Amino acid sequence: MQPVPAQSTAQPSGERPDYIAALHAPVAFINGGPKDSGHNGAAAGYAAVQNVIALHAWQEVGHYPATYRQPNGGAFAVAVNAWLDWHLKGDQSASRMFVGSTCGLCQDSKWTVQLKNAAQDTDPARGKVDSADVRR
């Protein structure tokens, strides 16, 4: 675990830009859309990410529990599991949920998806993707 920067101060949005700048692994912001109390913070966090792969995905389901009370955690659990499989297990087939114009989430009209810096993931079998790939 990285130490907390001593000069860290919360911003009005609740975000801490120094934490965002210190990220060294892919990050996903998944929330319940603009009516979700966490949406603005997630959007600010996503916008501040510069050096790692970042996902901001949402459905208009409001704040907690989002879809987690649906069987098997619903659509949010599916997305989270695919993200973790891709980045923690190296499962390149799981990346198809997020990468490309025909990505799994992109095909579902309930999702709004933003992905950036994915070109840093240079697995030659998968190729590079657009680093500012914004969908819907």
What's this model's pTM, rounded to 2 decimal places? 0.74
* Nearest-angstrom CA–CA distance, 78 and 122: 24
Give the range among 103-107, 111-115, 125-129 with minimum mean pLDDT.
Answer: 125-129
Count of domains observed in the chain: 1
Q: 5 lies in a domain?
A: no
Read off φ and ψ for residue 27, nearest 5 degrees. Answer: -135, 140
Q: 10 lies in a domain?
A: no
Q: 130 lies in a domain?
A: yes
- Can you give the residue range of the structural domain that contains 82? 17-135
In this prediction, residue 136 has a pLDDT band, given cuts at 50, 70 and 90, of: very low
pLDDT of res. 80:
93
Average pLDDT over residues 56-78: 80
Q: 127 lies in a domain?
A: yes
CATH number at residue 101: 3.40.50.1820
| Model pLDDT for residues 12-50, shown as the tens digit of each residue | 455 556 778 888 999 999 988 888 888 898 899 999 999
Enter the tokens of residue 21.
């700048």
For residues 67 and 19, the model is more confident at 19
Q: 121 lies in a domain?
A: yes
Which helix H or strand E contains 84, and what residues bound it?
helix 74-88
| Model pLDDT for residues 106-124, shown as the tens digit of each residue | 999 999 999 999 864 444 3
CA atoms within a 13 Å half-sphere pointing along the CA-CB vector of 124: 0
SS3 state at 117:
coil
Q: 94 lies in a domain?
A: yes
**pLDDT > 50? residue 52:** yes
Q: 75 lies in a domain?
A: yes
**pLDDT > 80? residue 64:** no
Q: 6 lies in a domain?
A: no
Average pLDDT over residues 70-97: 90
Q: Given the DSSP bridges, would you call strands 27-31 and 132-135 parallel, antiparallel or unpaired? A: unpaired
* Percentage of residues of the chain with pLDDT beyond 90: 38
